[in-house]
Structure 1
Amino acid sequence: MSLLSSAPAVLVLEDGRTFRGRAYGATGRTVGEVVFTTGMTGYQETLTDPSFQRQIVVQTAPHIGNTGVNDEDDESDGYWIAGYVVRDPSRRVSNWRATEGLEERLTRRGIVGISGIDTRALTRHIRDRGAMRAGIFSGDEAGLDAQTQLAAVRESAPMAGSRLVDEVSTTQPYTIPAVGPQRFRVLAYDLGIKSATPEQLAARGMEVTVVPASTPFERILELAPDGVFFSNGPGDPATSDHEVEVLRSVLRARIPFFGICFGNQLLGRALGFDTFKLTFGHRGANQPVLDVETGRVEITSQNHGFAVAAPLGEPVTAPQAEFGRVQVSHIGLNDQVVEGLRCLDTPAFSVQFHPESAAGPHDSRGLFDRFADMMTDSPASARA
């Protein structure tokens, strides 16, 4: 059973609005960009997703924590969120896989949270006003005067213009062996990778070497992989000039490329398109996306606050014309945002959502097979 805190807590938004509740998890002070996620399950995967670095996460589902946490479902070694906001935390853990209560895990990991507030009103406020900086102040910090709390929020760094990839990327390469007979060798750039992603690649016969974001293109040439993968990750894609230049070299060398989430934004920038910050982003396991080629609507898992500014409809020549034609391959049905790119003259494609989809849904896992097919069709001489 989780013993809920009775310590006071207050959530302070950048525009001055406040919500008062109880401390949940560690007590103290935290600041970050406040965002909401609409998933009804998978809160443990959310907490451990590096793409949430420096963000205060609001769960729109009202009842959180009833299944506790376990030692298997973490998507990384870290708990990356800056803070956590829930309405009704469960008082009792009821799941045979649980090894700990959610509040105990948050406390042990030093995650400052707040509970007992009207998360529906907060979500509507963010939807109308946009994601913004915020702070959670609990325990003794909750007693600070309002102007001091608001000043702390407004002095924190905004998400636009922030480079966060280096804070979450691995510092040393590591390899995940293929499951069954090895068919391909893939070099995966860790921009904030989730553990389910290389597992999905490995399940299709790919030996995956995960490398730091700072890895130069020359290292790719030395390792001579069959394909290159760029992962999800946090921050503003406009700050990733190094990764964009590496990707342009990959495209010029005609090495098969697959990117997801942040990797999609970087492919867009490598092709010469701009990226922009969404008002409140897409976060949750229930986002509808149209696959333009098949006409199929897939329910996807997403976590992003930036998007690619590319034209919908027929293929166009990329602004970086050397890479040929490109088409928006997937479209978000809620707001018509670009959800994927497909290069027609270069072996490369990307999607904005998460086909590894821990903790679900699984509609888009066939994209990993598409990557395998691309590597199968790519002549070895082109990668020499």
Structure 2
Amino acid sequence: MTIKKSFETIAVNGVSGGDRRTGAISFPIYQSATFRHNGLNNSTGYDYSRAQNPTREETEKTLASLEGGNEAIGFSTGVAAITACINLFKAGDHVILSDDLYGGTYRLFSETYKEFGLEATFVDTTDTTSIVEAINENTKAMFIETPSNPMMKVTDIKAVAQIAKEHDLLLVVDNTFLTPYYQRPLELGADIVIHSGTKFLGGHHDLLAGFIVANDNNIIERLRRIHMSTGATLSPFDSWLVLRGIKTLHIRLDRAQENTLKVAKFLDNNPKIEKVYYVGLENFDGYELNKKQATGFGATLSFRVKDKSLIEKILNNVKVIRFAESLGGVETLITYPITQTHSEIPEEIKKRLGVDEYLLRLSVGIENVDDLINDLDNAIGK
């Protein structure tokens, strides 16, 4: 009899429940580049780790199960996963993207692959009319982040999926911020889900990883071919680190989200803060929609200060919170998007979005929340 397992149980045990050959509870790190054949045309199923490795396979299958997909593919970084998706297209193809998204994604589409003839249009994907108006005869896909980075804009995945279906387009959703614990885009109509596994999946700021999850066998086969051919594959050790991180994903996210809401409310009530961008605040524009399509709000927020001079003061004076790029780890990080994650976004887009010299982003960790609030309070000053 097959027992239906919950998210938490799959996360803790993985799809295999450990190593069936030895009984090891912690799935082994198969630190091998190549595998011996038992004879001519008699492979063990593993030939060369760029093609597949048992540790990476366990990680991929575990994430696929959590995300509700048929298969997942592990990459060396999140950007490598996005690059593999781009390689599904050819010169002359057109892709529509969220205008508020990770700066590295923007750079890939607007610079690197523009040189190869790929066309990209960045629109406000919270407005379905803008999406439809951007569709051309050569449009092949839509790429969205929700909540977006760093302004936390929420896009209606089901509505965009319907547009994609009507126009025979692929829908790619970057689910890094909420992870499959809080949001499952495939169940809402997405064709491909992307993760920067460096962030919440790994959860400890000690690895680089990226993942693609999909249901369509043709898409998966094409992506696996790209994956093996381009070589940006997830290493056995980093695969194991992601597996370890996933075991506590639900616990870390729940605690971090709890902290984030308290920090958001503190900032929202501070007279020196102009606005807080957090999906978990009931007065935030995307709050109701996010509740409709997700089970959580995540652990990332942005906030705008009233006085620009306060930026340097905060960044120089936080003690518990670390001034560093990235997000999704157990430690709380503060980032200055205009000079860090979004430095290469064109000025006109940054200005329209509000990514300016007054904006900071927080990735809230699992420390004692009073320590985090006191740290911010001291850094902001009276």
TM-score range, shorter chain: under 0.3
Q: Which fold has the larger relative contact order, with Cα–Cα distance below 8 Å and residues 6 or more apart in sequence?
A: 2
Structure (1 or 2) with the greater helix fraction: 2
TM-score (norm 2): 0.25
TM-score (norm 1): 0.25
Structure (1 or 2) with the greater strand fraction: 1
